[in-house]
């Protein structure tokens, strides 16, 4: 059974409160519940959820994925744009990773247009709100199941 690590970075614990006109009114708990429903719908899959506002904790969690998880879904928040530590951790564990963003980072402020994570991710889902997590999970599980036979 595939085990997927879902990582949320800084400020995502404030979903539903922080700038709802950009990020929506759903909470992180709502997102986790929706993604869990999709996982059940798609068959055998275990989800591990993790959120941190601290770069080092996210790096440590990614390191734990080596040999333990079949895939990672990550919304690195602001770390998207400058965290080479998170990028290198993803690259180092060689676990298929999909980057997710609630808003379309490519249509927002200039500094948000570039992701240092994208080059080491197997895919990127942006601009679909919380549905982006569902799309990422569907894509990741389809890829994993295809690779595993």
The per-residue DSSP string of 60-108 comes to: HHHHHTTTT-SEEEEE-GGGGGT-HHHHHHHHHHT--EEEEESS-GGGS
Q: Which of these CATH numbers, 3.40.50.2000, 3.30.930.10, 3.40.50.9100, 3.20.20.120, describes 3-148?
A: 3.40.50.9100
* Catalytic site residue from 23, 82, 114, 133: 23
**pTM higher than 0.85:** yes
101 noted as active-site residue: yes
pLDDT at position 148: 46
pLDDT at 81 over 50: yes
Please state, rounded to an integer, the average pLDDT across all residues of the chain: 91
Per-residue pLDDT band at 22 (split at 50, 70, 90): confident
Query: Which residue ranges make up the annotated binding site for substrate?
Result: 75, 81, 88, 102-103, 112
Domain segments of the chain: what residues? Answer: 3-148
Per-residue pLDDT band at 108 (split at 50, 70, 90): confident
* Catalytic site residue from 54, 82, 84, 101: 101
23 noted as active-site residue: yes
């Amino acid at each position: 059974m595939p085990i997927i690590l879902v990582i949320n970075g800084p400020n995502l614990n404030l979903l539903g409160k922080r700038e709802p006109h950009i990020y929506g009114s759903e909470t992180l708990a709502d997102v986790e519940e929706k993604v869990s429903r999709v996982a059940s719908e798609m068959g055998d899959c275990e989800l591990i959820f993790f959120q941190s506002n601290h770069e080092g904790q996210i790096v440590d969690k990614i390191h734990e994925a080596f040999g333990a998880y079949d895939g990672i879904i990550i919304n690195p928040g602001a770390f998207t744009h400058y965290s080479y530590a998170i990028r290198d951790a993803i690259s180092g564990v060689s676990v298929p990773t999909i980057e997710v963003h609630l808003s379309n980072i490519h249509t927002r402020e200039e500094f948000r247009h570039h992701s240092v994570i994208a080059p080491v991710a197997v895919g990127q889902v942006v601009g679909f709100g919380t549905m982006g997590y569902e799309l990422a999970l569907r894509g990741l599980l389809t890829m994993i199941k295809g690779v595993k036979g």
